[in-house]
Each structure stands twice: as structure tokens, then as C-alpha cells.
């Protein structure tokens, strides 16, 4: 590669776009670029949420191991997760598919069956889209529109110093599952894959935390929320930047499952790295005062017997720091996965 040519990282590009957008405002727009969804006025009581996301072949999915039905499910789920991240309810979807000539109708039928199955689970209507031929890669883009109570919406930008930071489930599982897929555990002997099935499923068929997101928002106790798509280190850094705060993450509080620790040993990877930097867990990360712990814990228990895990604390200074006993604080801001540079 020619090093003379300037290239963007995803963050640089988004920040460049922000510059271009300028400061124009509209009475109907509550929030533009900078959160999981853009936010519009709807009616007296509710706001509209709108979000768009793209999945591209070889980057976000590998057709060899990502079968079309599950890929359809994931394409819907990861977009719905952005609505969950603001405490909203997904309502409508638009799907654009760019598929190469040689794409078989059966493959597309299976993809659509998976996509619409998830829409039905969450009572989302498919209301439009576009279908085009692509040169080589298969690319899916989804736009989801959701609604949220205007008094209850949770932004990334409202975390406050001394808030505790919670996550809604174990971390690093999808990243470990991806690694098993990459290393051919799906195509090898079935019993090899069976043991890691939960991790592989976390990568292939993630579950957007819609109900929990809404319960957290409706409780009125949380200050800020985001979903974990690019990894804790990056997504928490997004939240901190938008809130103009910093964060401390306590290594010994991170929810690493027994299975993840075992998987990391098998893969010869660090379980901590998988949890901090691995993307696509699609758990919710939210901040709230320590006094809200009991209420929020009860909500999670009511929601499919879930648990929430306090993993750190919001600080007044900037940056996301990892705190480990006997080690200096370590800046981990934005060390998650950047889809754009692949680093």
C-alpha cells in the first residue's frame, strides 16, 4: 500500500462529516449525528428515533460460515439494538440489499425469512427499501424507526461524574465466537463446535436488549445508555466524549463467564482483551447513581431473569481508564474494533 495516500479511520471520517454538517437546526430535529439514533419530534408524548447500519460481506459477515437465515436475523437485530440503546421501541424498517448477479434466490429467501422473523419478534413493520445488483460484494443496509417517550429517552451524552457504569450481560462472548468461526470450528467436527455453541451463537445471532432497554429508560433512574457494538473500550469512550466526562473500568468487576475464560485459553487469547476490545456483544451499557442499583437490579431480574453488572465509575476528567490491582491505570479509550480500518 502506498503510504503517501492519506486514509481515514472511522472516527476521523465521522468527525469530518460532522464538520461538513455544520450547525443548522430544525424545530423538528432534537438530536442529529452523535448518538445511536437521530431523534425527531413525533407527538405530544413521544419522539421518533431513526438509525441506519450497513453489513458488508467479508467485513461484517463471512458467507462461508454465516448462513443466510442467521445473517438475516443479525442484520435486523444489530439495527434494532440501536433503538434499544435509547430506551425506545422499534416500529418500522427499511431494507436495502445490494447483491451480486450470482446470488441464488434460495439464499435470498432464507436471508429474508431470518430478517422478517426478527422483525416479527419485535413487532417491527418492513415498510420500504431498495434492491440493487452489486458488482462483487453483498451489502445490506437497514434503517430502523422507533419511538420513545420524550420524558424517558436515554442519550449517550448525559452521564454524570460519580455515576456507576453497568453492563447488561457477559462481555467478549461474541468476539470469542467470531474467533472460533474464523478458525474453522464450524466446518470441523461437530463436537468441537458444540462446546462453544453459546459463544458462536453470540456472534452469529445476537439478541438486541429491547425490553431491558425500555425498562431501564422507563425507570427514570439511569442517566445515559449506549449499546456495545464496537467493544467496551470504544463504546464507553463514545459515551464519555459525548457526555464530556471520563470513566474508570475495574478489571476485576468485568463479567467474564467461565466459558469465555476457558475459550480464551483454548484460543490462546486474553479473556480481558476479548471483553474490553471485542465487538458485537450488543449488551447495553448504562450509567446511573449508585442509589439506583437496587431498582435497576430488580428490573433486570424481572426481564428474563437477567443480571446487571457494575463495572466502573464515571469521572470528571476525560478518557477511559482500566484499573487493575497492583498495576498503573491504563488508558484504553477507543481500543475496540474499528470496522473501517479493521484494527
Residues 104 to 123: which contact a copy of itself by CB under 8 A?
A: 104-106, 108-109, 112-113, 116
CB of 72 to a copy of itself, least distance (A): 11
CB of 293 to a copy of itself, least distance (A): 33
Q: State the binding string over 73-92 for a copy of itself (x if CB under 8 A, else -).
A: ------------------xx
Distance CA 257, CA 247 (A): 23
3-state secondary structure of 140: strand
* Contacts to a copy of itself from residues 323-342, by CB under 8 A: 339-342
CB of 10 to a copy of itself, least distance (A): 5
Query: Which residue, 18 or 304, has its beta carbon nearer to a copy of itself?
Result: 18
Which span sits near a copy of itself by CB under 8 A: 34-42, 211-219, 250-258, 291-299? 34-42
| 182-185: Cβ within 8 A, 24+ apart | 182/62, 183/267
Rule CB under 8 A: is residue 37 a binding residue for a copy of itself?
yes
Rule CB under 8 A: is residue 316 a binding residue for a copy of itself?
no
- 44: which residues sit within 8 A by CB, 6+ positions away? none
Q: Exactly one of 70, 84, 98, 320 binds a copy of itself (CB under 8 A); which one?
A: 98
* Contacts to a copy of itself from residues 141-170, by CB under 8 A: 141, 143, 145
User: According to DSSP H, which parts of 183-286 are helical?
Assistant: 190-194, 197-204, 210-219, 232-243, 258-267, 271-277
Rule CB under 8 A: is residue 27 a binding residue for a copy of itself?
no
The DSSP result for 276-313, as a single string, is HH------EEEEE-GGGHHHHHHHHHHTTT---EEEEE
Which span sits near a copy of itself by CB under 8 A: 9-17, 241-249, 259-267, 299-307? 9-17
Query: Which residue, 108 or 251, has its beta carbon nearer to a copy of itself?
Result: 108
Rule CB under 8 A: is residue 64 a binding residue for a copy of itself?
no
- Helix or strand (DSSP H, E) at 63: none
Rule CB under 8 A: is residue 136 a binding residue for a copy of itself?
yes
Rule CB under 8 A: is residue 182 a binding residue for a copy of itself?
no
Which span sits near a copy of itself by CB under 8 A: 24-32, 157-165, 246-254, 261-269? 24-32
Which span sits near a copy of itself by CB under 8 A: 96-104, 179-187, 208-216, 259-267? 96-104
3-state secondary structure of 90: strand
Rule CB under 8 A: is residue 24 a binding residue for a copy of itself?
yes
3-state secondary structure of 1: coil
Distance CA 29, CA 269 (A): 44
Distances (CA, A) of 26 to 40, 86, 147: 10, 21, 19
- 142: which residues sit within 8 A by CB, 6+ positions away? 52, 53, 54, 75, 76, 79, 93, 94, 95, 96
Amino acid at each position: 500500500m502506498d503510504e503517501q495516500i492519506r486514509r481515514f479511520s472511522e472516527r476521523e471520517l465521522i468527525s469530518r462529516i460532522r464538520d461538513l454538517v455544520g450547525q443548522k437546526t430544525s424545530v423538528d430535529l432534537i438530536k442529529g449525528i452523535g448518538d445511536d439514533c437521530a431523534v425527531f419530534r413525533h407527538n405530544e408524548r413521544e419522539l421518533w428515533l431513526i438509525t441506519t447500519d450497513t453489513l458488508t460481506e467479508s467485513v461484517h459477515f463471512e458467507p462461508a460460515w454465516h448462513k443466510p437465515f442467521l445473517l438475516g436475523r443479525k442484520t435486523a437485530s444489530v439495527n434494532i439494538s440501536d433503538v434499544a440503546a435509547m430506551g425506545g421501541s422499534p416500529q418500522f424498517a427499511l431494507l436495502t440489499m445490494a447483491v451480486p448477479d450470482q446470488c441464488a434466490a434460495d439464499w435470498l429467501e432464507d436471508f429474508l425469512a431470518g430478517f422478517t422473523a426478527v422483525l416479527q419478534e419485535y413487532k417491527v413493520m418492513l415498510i420500504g427499501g431498495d434492491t440493487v445488483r452489486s458488482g462483487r460484494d453483498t451489502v445490506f443496509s437497514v434503517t430502523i424507526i422507533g419511538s420513545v417517550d420524550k420524558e424517558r429517552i436515554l442519550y449517550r451524552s448525559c452521564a454524570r461524574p460519580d455515576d456507576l457504569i453497568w453492563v447488561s450481560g457477559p462481555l467478549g462472548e461474541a468476539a470469542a465466537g467470531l474467533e472460533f468461526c474464523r478458525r474453522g470450528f464450524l466446518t470441523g467436527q461437530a463436537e468441537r463446535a458444540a462446546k462453544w455453541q453459546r459463544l458462536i451463537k453470540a456472534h452469529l445471532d445476537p439478541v438486541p436488549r429491547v425490553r431491558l432497554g425500555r425498562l431501564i429508560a422507563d425507570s427514570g433512574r439511569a442517566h445515559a445508555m449506549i449499546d456495545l457494538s464496537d467493544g467496551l473500550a470504544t463504546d464507553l469512550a463514545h459515551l464519555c466524549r459525548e457526555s464530556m466526562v471520563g470513566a474508570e473500568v475495574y478489571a476485576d468487576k468485568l463479567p467474564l463467564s467461565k466459558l469465555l475464560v476457558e475459550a480464551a485459553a483454548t484460543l490462546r487469547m486474553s479473556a480481558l482483551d476479548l471483553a474490553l476490545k471485542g465487538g458485537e456483544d450488543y449488551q447495553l451499557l448504562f450509567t446511573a447513581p449508585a442509589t439506583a442499583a437496587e431498582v435497576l437490579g430488580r428490573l433486570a431480574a424481572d426481564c428474563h431473569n437477567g443480571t446487571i453488572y457494575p463495572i466502573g465509575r464515571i469521572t470528571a476528567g476525560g478518557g477511559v481508564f482500566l484499573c487493575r490491582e497492583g498495576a498503573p491505570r491504563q488508558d484504553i479509550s477507543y481500543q475496540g474494533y474499528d470496522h473501517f480500518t479493521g484494527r
